[in-house]
Structure 1
Amino acid sequence: MSDIDWAKALDQLFENPHDQEIRSWAEGEISRGACTPGQRRAYELLTAGESVMDLLQATPDAVRKMVESVPAPRLTVAPGDGEWNAVHIVHHLADNEAVNAVRIRSVLTEDTPEIFGYDSDPWTRFFAVEPVEDALERFEVSRRNTVALARSLSSEDLDRKGVLSYRGAESLRVLLAVLAGHDRDHLDQLRDALAAGD
């Protein structure tokens, strides 16, 4: 399977989540740490038969419920030195959604475009500009738009590809699955951050 990569593997799992050859390849890559957290989580949700669209739609409400379930001071408590607290995570989700809105539209309107990659850590310097409630609302509104757009797309639209510097060429279908995987990863991170003040 020398010609396989994560983009091809995830595309094939949309067609057949029980493909044993692809699953064996992916498990090997995961054990070697040769994937992003979003790719690993996308693999897990596809092989479990979960709906990418449903997960994307549900994330903002899950984030809001977690954030509203604790006193406000808990939102700024980090699990450890150098780790993100809940405020950081909410801002990151909002920023990442803005980035993916551009990526999705670029893939839909250009021929195999280079799509925007970024290092999220330096963006933390802007988090203090916006209250966490505003960042959460920004995430909710942007994600509603992402889901509405994604649900309107044809199979041909979802086959369109963009090239991301650190993941290579991948279909829009895979980009959305990795975004759902990214959500899952940060929901777990948010739970850990909110538990840090216990």
Structure 2
Amino acid sequence: MAASDLFKTLLYTINNLLQQHKYKTALAVVKGFRNGAVYGAKIRAPHALVMTFLFRSGSLREKFRAIAQATYTHSRNLACFVFTYKGLQALQQHLQGKQLQSHSFLAACLGGWLVFGENNNINSQQGRCLWRCLSPCLDSLLHLNGVPFWRGAYRPRMHPVRCRCHCSALRLPL
């Protein structure tokens, strides 16, 4: 009975701390770290499993070690990036007293450089994936602002107004 009361008191105390506004930023940073780690593992593990068994030679033990290493690296990178990104955003907001759009850009640039700056297979694959997702959007934005599609380059198979990330609502001043 005493253990049950102690658990209820502990749970009540933790819930009170989590609901206080002054801890909101710190909790967002910690939650972002956790979500980055979980998402990195959920995304990378199945991909590493398939790619390792399709294209890697070696013993079963070596294959599972490679899968675990790729999953760990991807998960760690995403967790560290989100932690850095949210922490830098919170720091900039605290220093300037308000949140600006440039805070996201600066936090993402610095966090990306710190976390993904190392040249390894996982980071280069993430960079290629990011470029594959962003290049049709950038091309569509340029086309909407009067710049013709690049000759001889990849032309996205989508209408310029219906880009996947819905960035077509933005008009770039040229």
The reply to whether TM is greater than 0.5 is no
Higher strand share: 1
Higher share of residues assigned helix: 2
Larger gyration radius, structure 1 or structure 2? 2
**Higher RCO (CA < 8 A, seq sep 6+):** 1
- Report the TM-score, using the length of structure 1 for normalisation: 0.23
The normalised TM-score by structure 2 is 0.25
